[in-house]
Each structure stands twice: as C-alpha cells, then as structure tokens.
C-alpha cells in the first residue's frame, strides 16, 4: 500500500533513465521490478536490494505509462540521472533471487479492499490569483484513492446536492441522462442508477388524510423528478441501489457496461423514488438505511 502511495504521488521523472530526485520505490514500480500488494512480504524475505548506475543529466526526460504508474516529463536535467541496473530479493539466512524488469506490462491493478489513507487538496490557479474568490467562493476539492487505488473525489454533500435552479445539474437528472453514481464506504462499493419509469395512480389530496398519503400526494404533484401526468396516472422516475460484488477498475467497468450487468451487482433496493434517497453530511439514506460514505464518482456510459 505504501509503495503505491509513493508511486501515485508522481515523484518520478523520465523513462528508463530518471532524474536524480525521482523516488526509487516509484522507479522500481515503473520498471516492473516490484508490484503493489495489500499483503505483507513473506517472512523469508529480508530486503529488496536495487543497484543503480549514476548517469549525466539528460537533455529531456520522457513520460510513459507503465505498470499502472505514469512517470512525468521534464525539459532539462540538473544534477545527475540514474537507471536501475539490477534488483534482487535478499533472503533471510543468505541467498538472493534476481528479479526481472517488466517494461511493457500495463495490467489492471487488482482491488485491494483497503483504500489509500491519502487525500490531496486541489485549488484552481484562477482561484489562487483572486484573493476574494479564494476566501469566499472557492470550494476545495479533495481527492482520495478508491478501493482500486484510482483517484476519486472525497464524499461531500455539495457533490450530490442540486445546483441551484439548473435542473440538468441535479443528480437525479444526471442519472436519467445516463450517468451512474458510484459510492464507496471504507470496504464496499455501491451503484446508484436510473432504472426507468413506473406508473403511479394519482390520488386527490381531498381523499387523503393520513400523513403517508399526503406525503405521497405532495411528491406526485410537486416533484422535479421528471414526471408525466396521464389523466389519473402519473409516470415517475425510479432508481436502483446496488452493491458491487467486487470493486473493478474504471477501464474494466466501461468494457463490461455501465450500469454494471446483473452478474456484477447485488440489487439492494429497486424501484426507488428519488425521495427515498436522502443525502446527509456523512453519507446517504436509502429507503431508511444509512450508508456512511468515503468517496463518490460519476461515470457515464460513453
């Protein structure tokens, strides 16, 4: 986990030949000598030993995606450079095992089921140049790593709250247009998606006296959830809340389809009215059950 945290920090510049301030652990991951894992190393391993060759500064350092780690480019060198000549495992009690680099490998990172305990706060350059906007209007965006070690946005109610009077920016409208909202606790991933429409019979308010019926009638008459009136019946949007059986990287999710196919999810609640989805500062209530959230991310089908 710590290895991937360092590599995700982007503290490496170059490909094959790296700047002298590039983190060696990140370089070893970029070159494929070591891979991220959520498990501790075997007890028989004493250390990982790398031999590097110091080189003159390069005219430029190129960026490349390798082993799910992207190095950064740099225009000119200062100081010196280095490359990894050899890497091996030193066993307790003596003996070594030589490791081979993997310079073209770019497999998908397997979910670790233990997200990074890392957050990054990002502020726009425009905001930083305007002290008044920075103090009064700009919200900081905090990034966390999800269960597949990809950057997602830290959960905040401002992300899912309706944006003023612009209905296309409402979360319910975005879901209806084809986006899918993925949400994570510290151990599970959930999917909230548009599930179609259902016909609901409109009951005149004068015929209703109990609280629940009045609430339902108020929903039918005043909801902004895209309902259509057809005489005594009303078409209303419905949504689905599911648990993802296994957290998958976004590339894999897009390849198999969004929302995820039935074999990849466990449907917890379906035919949900939007009023059954209640957001709070700490998470979301779905049909009366609370889920404390850590991260969220919108994905579209395209």
> Which tokens sit at 104?
């073209």
Residue span(s) of the chain under CATH 2.170.130 come to: 2-98
Q: How many whole angstroms separate alpha carbon 234 and alpha carbon 24? A: 63
Q: How many whole angstroms separate alpha carbon 71 and alpha carbon 61? A: 9
DSSP code at position 167: G
CATH 2.170.130 holds for 2-98? yes
Q: What is the largest CA-CA distance in the chain?
A: 87
Which string of b and e fits 121-159 if b means at least 16 CB within 10 Å? eeeeeeeeeeeeeeeeeeeeeebbbbbbbbebbbbeeeb
* CA pseudo-torsion sign 219, 224, 228, 230: positive
Report angle CA 291, 147, 8 to the nearest 5 degrees.
135
Q: Which neighbouring-strand residues pair with 251? A: none
> Which tokens sit at 2?
């710590």
Check if the beta carbon of residue 239 is closer than 8 Å to that of residue 278: no
- pLDDT per residue as tens, the chain (302 positions): 344 444 445 588 999 999 998 999 899 988 988 876 655 677 788 888 999 999 999 888 888 888 878 888 888 766 899 999 999 999 888 888 888 888 765 544 444 444 545 555 555 444 445 554 444 444 456 888 889 888 899 999 988 888 777 788 899 999 999 999 999 998 999 999 999 988 877 665 555 445 444 444 443 333 445 555 555 678 889 999 999 999 999 999 999 999 999 999 999 999 999 999 999 999 999 988 999 999 999 998 76
Neighbours of 74 (CB within 10 A): 18
Helix (H) or strand (E) holding 181: strand 180-184
Radius of gyration over every alpha carbon of the chain, rounded to an integer in angstroms: 25
pTM, two decimal places:
0.52
């Amino acid at each position: 986990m710590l290895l991937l945290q360092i590599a995700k920090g982007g503290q490496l510049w170059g490909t094959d030949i790296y700047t002298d301030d590039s983190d060696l652990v990140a370089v070893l991951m970029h070159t494929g000598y070591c891979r991220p894992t959520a498990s501790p190393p075997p007890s028989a391993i004493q250390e990982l030993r790398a031999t590097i060759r110091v080189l003159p500064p390069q005219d430029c350092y190129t960026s490349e995606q390798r082993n799910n780690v992207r190095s950064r480019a740099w225009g000119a060198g200062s100081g010196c450079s280095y490359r990894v000549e050899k890497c091996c495992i030193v066993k307790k009690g003596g003996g070594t095992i030589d490791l081979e680099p993997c310079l073209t490998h770019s497999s998908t990172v397997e979910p670790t089921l233990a997200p990074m305990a890392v957050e990054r706060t990002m502020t726009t350059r425009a905001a930083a140049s305007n002290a008044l906007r920075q103090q009064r209007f700009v919200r900081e965006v905090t990034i966390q790593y999800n269960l597949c070690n990809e950057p997602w946005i830290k959960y905040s109610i401002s992300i899912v709250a309706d944006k003023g009077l612009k209905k296309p920016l409402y979360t319910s409208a975005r879901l209806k247009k084809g986006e899918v909202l993925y949400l994570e606790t510290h151990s599970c991933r959930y999917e909230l998606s548009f599930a179609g429409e259902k016909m609901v019979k409109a009951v005149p308010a004068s015929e209703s006296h109990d609280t629940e019926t009045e609430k339902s009638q108020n929903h039918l008459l005043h909801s902004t959830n895209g309902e259509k009136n057809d005489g005594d019946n009303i078409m209303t949007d419905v949504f689905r809340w599911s648990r993802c059986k296994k957290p998958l990287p976004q590339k894999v999710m897009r390849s198999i389809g969004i929302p995820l196919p039935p074999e990849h999810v466990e449907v917890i609640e379906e035919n949900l009215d939007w009023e059954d989805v209640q957001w709070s500062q700490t998470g979301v209530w779905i049909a009366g059950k609370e889920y404390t959230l850590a991260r969220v991310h919108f994905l579209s089908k395209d």
